[in-house]
Amino acid sequence: MHQATRPDPSPADLDAAAAPAAACTSAPAEGQSASDRAALAPSPFAALGLAPELAAALQELGYEEPTPIQRAAIPPLLAGRDLLGRAATGTGKTAAFALPLIQAADGTPPAPGRPRVLVLVPTRELAMQVAAAIHRYGRARAATVLPVYGGQSIWQQVRVLDRGVEAVVATPGRAADHLERGTLSLEDVRFVVLDEADEMLDMGFAEDIEAILARAPAARQTALFSATMAPRIRALAERHLRDPVRVEIERERAAPGEVPRVRQVAYVVQRAHKLAALGRVLDMETPNSAIVFCRTRLEVDDVTEAMNSRGYRAEALHGGLPQEQRDRVLARFRENRTDLLVATDVAARGLDIEHVSHVVNLDVPTEPESYVHRIGRTGRAGREGVAITFVEPRERRLLASIQDATRLKIRLETIPTAADLSNRRLDQTRASLAEALSAGGLDRYRAVLEGLSAEADVLDVAAAAVKLAHEALHPEGAEEPDIAPVVEPPPRARRGARDGARREPAPRPHEAPRGETAWTRLQVSAGRFQSIRPGDLVGAIAGETGLPSGVIGAIQIADRSSFVDVAVEHAGAISDALRRTKIRGRRVQVREVDLRR
């Protein structure tokens, strides 16, 4: 299958996207077809019921064994059953639904604007990835696939749709747009896939999804995949799936004594020292490729500037950048030309890059699901990964709730000291010298050493050489700033007057002790019954005001309203911003709560 794989394809590219894949199939070995080879070397994929040419194509791509989600999902999908699957990002679910839909293609040309397969995904990035995967798996079948998303000329997409394509991989917003214009019809659709359904709902696509599914044939086959099975996902499945096969794939857990695939650590640090702590931890970890998650665009820009000044090749990714620039940033990150990708959650959704060695949360995610999604971007393809979270003292309970909800062990560690970093850099210099010794080719330098050894002690000469090598590898920059440790108050201070300690009077409402933030509480007229989540409120505040997350405190969700603690000095701006924007597609009322009552 052919498809447009470049970020912004031209009309000619889109024409190529609709060409039959059979024209590009790789040539088999002389005198032997792909299916012959598959028959000679039985594939575990063929045992699932896949056609020989598909099994052979997977072997050529280097796939040896099906993943758990593929073993569980492919047979029922091939049998025509609906499927409800819970599987995290990176478990191989794209192949789990792509292979059956490729096999179901009967080879007859699709009618203009009437695909037989519709795959809905949350982001442009994921649309391109899924379409590319279908293209790779289906080279032996003369079918076509087209990614459809915003940020690209709709008329270029119309041109290819009018020629007829077997499968459309679309974001809900752009699919709904095509349906309204009449440039896309679902009358011939036999197979619908909802991929990353929880992400689509989080991004506010619920109404678009309902409208799209209402226009698809009732007799279609439907597969829904989600990383979580929250009540709203189950409700969506109950409305649109018919007697589905249920598949739940647990995250892999390391056996006793084995090293976990993702090492998870957290550092407690004051907000004022967070950038310095990030730089120091990254210097200690020396990541090959890392994603740093921030809550706001302002934080993304600040972190990117700070890390570039520290010597990293860091690039920003957030919704405030033009789409072309975002595509270029992602391309450089994929090609390992960028060390750090500093991104907001929304901008990085759907990002699927295997070589990410570290994921960093500059703040504790507000939802356990968000934490799981983020750390799922490292430790891919059998590699080990590292997940690092920076925790402000007031966020400790939030971190504990994530551990309770996910049953993941996040180890608390102390911020490395300047001395720790200095020793780490010396270790790196030592390793570089050891590598140079093992590589050989040192004869031309011996004459220098022999000449100097007649004038000075040979160990002093070697130490001077090490000094020069160390300074070349680690040029002196700004002096490492002090990072004040977070000290837990002693039990005596917490017990107060009972142990003879002087008890400070409690601050009055809207006041705070010297040097601390003063808080007030806002009541928002939407709650659990409107599917409001803490992340919706944080996202609305951060996105509309650009304020740092430190001005947002505790969040409580009630049935019909929500309560948000905010810094007093920003309460007015936050109230105005919440009234201006829509949360989960609806306007809200906001009022300040009198904490003295």
What the block records as the tokens of 70 is 């593929």
236 plus 327 within the same structural domain: no
Whether residues 280 and 211 fall in one domain: no
Among candidate residues 541, 523, 525, the one with its CA nearest the CA of residue 591: 523
- Lowest-confidence range among 62-76, 187-201, 355-369, 544-558? 544-558
Kindly tell me the sign of the dihedral angle through the C-alpha atoms of 300, 388, 395, 495: negative
Between the CA of residue 64 and those of 42, 58, 75, 252, 344, what are the distances in Å? 11, 8, 18, 19, 35
Instruction: Identify the weakest region by mean pLDDT among 273-282, 434-443, 512-521.
Output: 512-521
Q: Is residue 1 a part of any domain in this protein?
A: no
Q: How confident is the model at residue 81 (pLDDT cuts 50, 70, 90)?
A: very high
Give the confidence band of 424 by pLDDT, cuts at 50, 70, 90: confident
Q: What is the pLDDT of residue 29?
A: 41
What pLDDT shows up at residue 531?
Answer: 78
Give the percent of the chain with pLDDT over 90. 26
Last residue of a domain, one of 217, 248, 279: 248
Residues 287 and 369 in one domain: yes
Question: What's the pLDDT score for residue 595?
Answer: 52
Q: What is residue 558's predicted lDDT score, i.e. its pLDDT?
A: 77
**361-376, pLDDT tens digit by residue?**
998 887 777 788 788 7
Q: Which stretch, 3-7, 141-145, 177-181, 397-401, has highest mean pLDDT?
A: 177-181
Same structural domain, 68 and 196? yes
Residues written for the chain: 597
Predicted local distance difference test score (pLDDT) of residue 171: 92
Q: What is the pLDDT of residue 241?
A: 96
CATH code of 310's domain:
3.40.50.300
| 193 part of a folded domain | yes
Q: Is the residue at 253 inside a domain?
A: no
| Banded pLDDT at 503 (limits 50, 70, 90) | very low
pLDDT-derived band at 251, boundaries 50, 70, 90: low
Same domain, 220 and 268: no
Do 237 and 314 belong to one domain?
no
Report the relative pairing of strands 145-148 and 262-268 from DSSP bridges. unpaired
- Domain identity same for 298 and 228: no
pLDDT, mean over the chain: 78
Answer yes or no: is 504 within a domain.
no
Per-residue model confidence (pLDDT) at position 227: 83
The token pair that represents 35 in the structure block: 């299916």
Whole-angstrom Cα Rg for the chain: 28
Confidence of residue 89 (pLDDT cuts 50, 70, 90): low
Tell me which range, 9-18, 238-247, 529-538, is most confidently predicted by mean pLDDT: 238-247
Given a contact cutoff of 8 angstroms between Cβ atoms, the answer to whether 529 and 559 are in contact is: yes
Q: What is the pLDDT of residue 423?
A: 81
CATH number for the domain spanning 566: value is 3.30.70.330
Residues 210 and 317 in one domain: no
Kind and range of the H or E element at 342? strand 340-344
pLDDT at site 487: 46
Q: Are residues 227 and 352 in the same domain?
A: no
Least confident of 103-117, 206-220, 244-258: 244-258
Q: Given 218, 248, 278, which residue is the final one in a domain?
A: 248
- Examine residue 360 and state whether it is found in any structural domain, yes or no: yes
Question: Is the model's pLDDT at 258 over the cut of 60?
Answer: no
Indicate whether 525 pLDDT > 80.
Answer: yes
Give mean pLDDT, residues 24-42: 42
Which of 398, 418, 438 terminates a domain? The answer is 418
The answer to whether residues 123 and 232 belong to one domain is yes
Residue 195 scores a pLDDT above 90: yes
What residues pair up with 315 in beta bridges, in sequence order? 341
Q: Is residue 228 part of a domain?
A: yes
Q: Per-residue pLDDT tens for 460-502? A: 777 777 777 666 666 665 556 667 556 444 343 333 333 333 3
pLDDT for the residue 486: 60
pLDDT > 70: percent of the chain: 79
Mean pLDDT throughout 55-74? 83
Is the same domain home to 152 and 284?
no
Model confidence at 254: pLDDT above 50: no
Does the residue 314 lie in any domain?
Answer: yes
Q: State pLDDT tens for residues 103-132.
A: 988 878 899 999 999 999 988 878 888 888
pLDDT > 60? residue 253: no
Higher pLDDT, 576 or 237: 237
Q: Please give the tally of structural domains in the chain.
A: 3
Q: 120: domain range? A: 11-248
**C-alpha–C-alpha distance, residues 595 and 458, integer Å:** 74
- The tens digit of pLDDT for each residue in 265-310 reads 999 998 888 999 999 999 888 888 999 999 888 889 889 998 998 8
Examine the pLDDT at 353 and tell me if it is beyond 90.
no
Mean pLDDT (whole number) for 8-28 = 37
Q: Is the residue at 429 inside a domain?
A: no
Inform me whether the pLDDT recorded for 12 exceeds 50: no
pLDDT at residue 79 in the model:
95
pLDDT value at residue 168: 96
Residues 36 and 139 in one domain: yes
Alpha-carbon distance values, 359 to 107, 288, 289, 416, 458 (Å): 43, 11, 9, 18, 45
Measured distance CA(378)–CA(376) in Å, rounded? 5
- The pTM (predicted TM-score) of the whole model is 0.49
Rank 39-48, 145-154, 544-553 by mean pLDDT and report only the highest: 145-154
Coil vs helix vs strand at 329: helix
